[in-house]
Structure 1
Amino acid sequence: ECVVNKDLKTSAHLSLQRTFNDWADELDASYCFAEGHCTNQVASDYTTQADMENMCDYRFGSRRGWTRNFVKSLKRLMDMPKSFTNLVSVTSGISTQRVTRVLSKMACAQGVFHCDVQY
């Protein structure tokens, strides 16, 4: 909804419904809080793809900051099952910005960062 129809508001409502249906509210809330989405005043219902790319460039220092190396970082975290389960829990959320930062970079690379922020 967000990317195809450019309807960030409807996308946010659908994401919220899905979050409660999937018991992912703690995960989403901790991601939002750790990455500053909850207080972001730049994104709006009218944020464009170009605006999103500028936000990501600013957030991660340059285009290279969010287009490279994040998959390696995520794989490294997930290859440590015991550590990963301590870092991410559906009951207590995400406990470290090491994980949320990778999620933000992935959202930038997928072109949905502004959707995440607006949600």
Structure 2
Amino acid sequence: MFVQGLGFVQRSAYNKRAKPPALQPIQEEFSEVFCSQASWLCTETFDCLNHTGKLQSEDKLDKQIATASGEPDLTSWCYFQSNWDNVVKSCLVDQDLTRSAHQVYHQVLQQHPQDENDAKYCFLSGHCEDRELNSNSTMEAATKVCDERYPEPDGWKSVGFLDVEMQPLSTKAQADRISKIACARGSYHCTVAYCQETYCKMDHYEQIGGPSGQK
């Protein structure tokens, strides 16, 4: 299910909150079937099986995505099947941020005008001018940047999926909430690279999401 005008991270949160019937089996039980389709999700890193075959309570993710110890929670990706091959496999597992960026971009392009909302996010968030993170960055480096940019209180460690606004982007505050979500999911570096490798390089999107397009 897609919502007209919403961007990549916003749609992910919306899809989870809407609980479409097709995803119910994934949310209730992460079976061996899914492990055979995406074996990387059943490793110790993601632990979608959670040693019991069931995912953690989704209520916890709605209120707070980061772990109790204040670390990114990669198990949050177990719920989003459409991203298992791009963000999860290409960026988080293979650490090929450039490939992940183009995979996500082509996926989003099929849902135009969602690509335009993602472009607005990229420019509003400042990712196009980011000099600390790039396509060679790691999750560890990104987490340190997250600590600096979105400290507590009201930082990335306390954000939940319910904090995402279900309406098109228009302010930096909205963009910052999406960035906090990315930090909490361990994909902030993936998100920055997604912007830098696509929208930030295209004049068409700069006219839409850049300073002139936001007036």
- Normalising by the smaller structure, the TM-score range is 0.7 to 0.9
Higher helix share: 1
Query: CA contact under 8 A between 2:160 and 2:181: conserved in structure 1?
Result: yes
The reply to whether residue 17 of structure 1 matches residue 106 of structure 2 is yes
Q: Could you list the per-position Cα deviations for residues 59-79 of structure 1 after superposition, in whole angstroms to 9, with x for gaps in the alignment?
A: 1135972110444533xx44x
Larger relative contact order (CA 8 Å, sep ≥ 6): 1
Aligned length: 104
Structure label with greater radius of gyration: 2
- 1:51 maps to a residue whose letter is A
Q: Given the alignment, which residue of 65, 73, 87 partners 2:155?
A: 65
Stretches of structure 1 lacking an aligned partner (at least 5 in a row): 79-83, 89-93
Match status 1:33 vs 2:123:
yes
The one-letter code matched in structure 2 to 1:108 is C
Separation in 1, partners of 2:117, 2:101: 16
Matched to 1:57, the amino acid is D
Moved more, 64-73 or 100-109: 64-73
Question: For residues 47 and 62 of structure 1, do their structure 2 counterparts lie closer, same or farther at Cα, with a shift above 3 Å needed?
Answer: farther
Q: Percent identity of the aligned residues? A: 35
TM-score (norm 2): 0.44
Measured in 2, the distance between the counterparts of 1:72 and 1:8 equals 27
